[in-house]
């Protein structure tokens, strides 16, 4: 146990997620429009396996999760969200990570950057995203006359239409048309970084740096800080497409001997998928073994449902990762593979959102978190000599193992010492 845990720690140190290597600023694809005016595009997708929630990618930025992007002032940028993976991930823009999720200022007509002397907040002309569907602007506010006439005193920038539509079922949402956001930055006396984020899931923010017209960044430092680390994916999770199940691979003292029986060696793909399923099942079983310190049916429901949902999300990601689903058109409801891809993608996005909502309820009602309500009783160890141990975590299991092996080593050393003394006495006699 100790050895494998150390091996994992060692291997994970070399598995730096490419999120961390995203120091290069991606500038999107820019070209001049018919009037000779420069416009730039970022085409968004989501990589669902990049972390627990998935992270944004942009076609123009390569295979980098949550890339740092750069935007010039007074230039129109389009963020295109047509790809099916954008479902449940409407982009937002904020002066700090995660916007309203974290109770911080977003880019809105009546909100100026904190350190700016601009009076744009008084006229409702501060930079804000302009949300569009099928080429039609969904709001009234405008700071971009290229799209619609400039406005003053208008607060509606289309988000109140755009965001709720992302909660529609995947195929309904996908069939509504082209999802696009225009954003033009105009404030030049506060060049702090900004952030793009998901309006539905917290912790998916990426950095935006303001650029000079020569493409260099106006501010070198990465400020404001992101405030959290991006998930790093272990080798095992990377193979499975899952999040944080590495420590639960079978055999495992916390879990039954197997969850999938009689897997044939003749099908290595199925065998690998089965081992992924077993690890995530073991994690769920462990997570669904709760105390009731919160003294509430509601809290117990949530403490049970979060690991249950996490398992559903991991199962769905693992199925997508196997690449057994052959679906060219997700809207093809006659194709069993497309039906299953739609179900898998919906499970990932809807249940991850529900997990965050349930955590919000626990927090708001003053209940303990799911990790604080884990039983210290280990069902798999109840009949053996581990009864008196706290096996609440892998760490405690590791220390338990090392204590026992240490005791065993001491016993052996003692036996050898006694044996040597007895032998010496016999020789002397």
Residue 180 CB, shortest distance to Cu ion, in Å, is 17
Residue 46 CB, shortest distance to Cu ion, in Å, is 7
Cα distance between residue 327 and residue 342, in whole Å: 10
- Binders of Cu ion among residues 192 to 221 (CB under 5 A) are 198, 200-201
Nearer to Cu ion, 19 or 374 (CB): 19
Query: DSSP states of 52-74 as a string?
Result: SS-EEEEGGG-S-SS--EEEETT
Q: How many CA atoms lie within 13 A of 331 on its CB side?
A: 8
Residue 314 CB, shortest distance to Cu ion, in Å, is 17
Nearer to Cu ion, 131 or 273 (CB): 131
| Residue (of 284, 244, 281, 247) closest to 8 by Cα position | 247
Nearer to Cu ion, 7 or 176 (CB): 176
Cα distance between residue 428 and residue 127, in whole Å: 95
Cα distance between residue 69 and residue 113, in whole Å: 18
What is the Cα gyration radius of the chain?
27
Nearer to Cu ion, 39 or 52 (CB): 52
Stretch near Cu ion under the rule CB under 5 A, chosen from 56-64, 190-198, 301-309, 410-418 = 190-198
- CB neighbours (10 Å) of residue 97? 24
| Alpha carbon separation from 298 to 209, 292, 294, 303, 377 (Å, rounded) | 43, 10, 9, 9, 22
Nearer to Cu ion, 198 or 277 (CB): 198
| Alpha carbon separation from 164 to 30, 200, 321, 385 (Å, rounded) | 30, 10, 29, 55
Site map (CB under 5 A) of Cu ion, residues 139-178, x = contact: ----------------------------------------
Nearer to Cu ion, 67 or 109 (CB): 67
Site map (CB under 5 A) of Cu ion, residues 65-94, x = contact: ------------------------x-----
Residue 93 CB, shortest distance to Cu ion, in Å, is 14
Residue 196 CB, shortest distance to Cu ion, in Å, is 11
Asked if 57 is part of the footprint of Cu ion (rule: CB under 5 A), the reply reads no
Residue 88 CB, shortest distance to Cu ion, in Å, is 5
What are the beta bridge partners of residue 17? Answer: none
Do 214 and 117 contact (CB within 8 A), yes or no? no
Do 53 and 99 contact (CB within 8 A), yes or no? no
| Alpha carbon separation from 392 to 120, 287, 375, 379 (Å, rounded) | 54, 10, 7, 11
Nearer to Cu ion, 201 or 207 (CB): 201
Cα distance between residue 373 and residue 226, in whole Å: 29
Residue 135 CB, shortest distance to Cu ion, in Å, is 24
| Residue (of 249, 247, 256, 269) closest to 319 by Cα position | 269
Nearer to Cu ion, 87 or 112 (CB): 87
Nearer to Cu ion, 91 or 319 (CB): 91
Residue 85 CB, shortest distance to Cu ion, in Å, is 10
Which secondary-structure segment (H or E) carries 161? helix 159-165
Residues binding Cu ion: what is the number (CB under 5 A)? 4
Residue 354 CB, shortest distance to Cu ion, in Å, is 12
DSSP class of residue 323 equals T
Site map (CB under 5 A) of Cu ion, residues 90-129, x = contact: ----------------------------------------
Residue 200 CB, shortest distance to Cu ion, in Å, is 4
Nearer to Cu ion, 320 or 368 (CB): 320
Nearer to Cu ion, 200 or 312 (CB): 200
List strand residue ranges (DSSP E) for 48-156, in order.
Answer: 55-58, 69-72, 76-80, 91-94, 130-133, 136-137
Residue 55 CB, shortest distance to Cu ion, in Å, is 10
Q: Alpha helix (H) ranges present in 214-296?
A: 235-240, 268-287
Binding site for Cu ion (CB under 5 A): 89, 198, 200-201
């Amino acid at each position: 146990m100790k050895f494998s845990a150390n091996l994992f720690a060692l291997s994970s140190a070399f598995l730096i997620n490419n999120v961390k290597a995203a120091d290069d600023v991606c500038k999107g694809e820019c070209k001049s429009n018919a009037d000779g005016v420069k416009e730039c595009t970022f085409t968004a997708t989501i990589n669902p396996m990049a972390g627990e929630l998935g992270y944004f990618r942009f076609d123009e930025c390569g295979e980098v999760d949550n890339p740092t992007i750069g935007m010039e002032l007074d230039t129109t940028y389009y963020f295109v969200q047509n790809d099916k993976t954008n479902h449940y991930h409407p982009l937002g823009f904020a002066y700090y990570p995660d916007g309203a999720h974290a109770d911080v200022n977003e880019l809105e007509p009546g909100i100026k950057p904190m350190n700016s002397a601009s009076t744009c907040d008084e006229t409702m002309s501060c930079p804000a995203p302009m949300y569009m569907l099928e080429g039609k602007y969904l709001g009234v506010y405008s700071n971009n006359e290229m799209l619609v006439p400039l406005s003053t005193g208008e607060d509606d920038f289309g988000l109140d239409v755009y965001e709720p539509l992302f909660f529609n079922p995947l195929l309904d949402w996908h069939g509504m048309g082209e999802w696009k956001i225009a954003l033009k930055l105009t404030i030049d006396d506060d060049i702090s970084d900004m952030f793009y984020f998901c309006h539905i899931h917290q912790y998916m923010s990426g950095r935006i740096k303001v650029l000079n017209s020569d493409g260099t960044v106006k501010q070198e430092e990465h400020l404001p800080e992101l405030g959290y680390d991006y998930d790093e994916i272990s080798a095992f999770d990377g193979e499975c497409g899952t999040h944080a199940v590495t420590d639960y691979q079978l055999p495992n003292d916390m879990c039954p001997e197997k969850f999938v029986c009689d897997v044939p060696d003749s099908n290595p793909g199925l065998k690998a998928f089965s081992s992924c399923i077993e690890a995530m099942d073991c994690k769920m079983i462990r997570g669904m073994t709760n105390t009731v310190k919160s003294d509430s049916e509601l809290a117990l429901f949530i403490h049970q449902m979060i690991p249950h949902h996490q398992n559903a999300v991991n199962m769905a990601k693992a199925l997508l990762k196997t690449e057994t689903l052959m679906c060219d058109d997700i809207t093809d409801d006659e194709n069993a593979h497309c039906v299953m891809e739609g179900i898998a993608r919906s499970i990932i996005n809807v249940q991850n959102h529900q997990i965050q909502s349930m955590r919000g309820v626990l927090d708001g009602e003053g209940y303990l978190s799911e990790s604080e309500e884990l039983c210290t009783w280990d069902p798999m160890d109840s009949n053996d000599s581990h009864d008196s141990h706290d096996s609440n975590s892998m760490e405690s299991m590791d220390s338990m193992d090392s204590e026992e092996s240490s005791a065993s080593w001491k016993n052996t050393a003692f036996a050898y010492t006694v044996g040597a003394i007895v032998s010496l006495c016999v020789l002397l006699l």
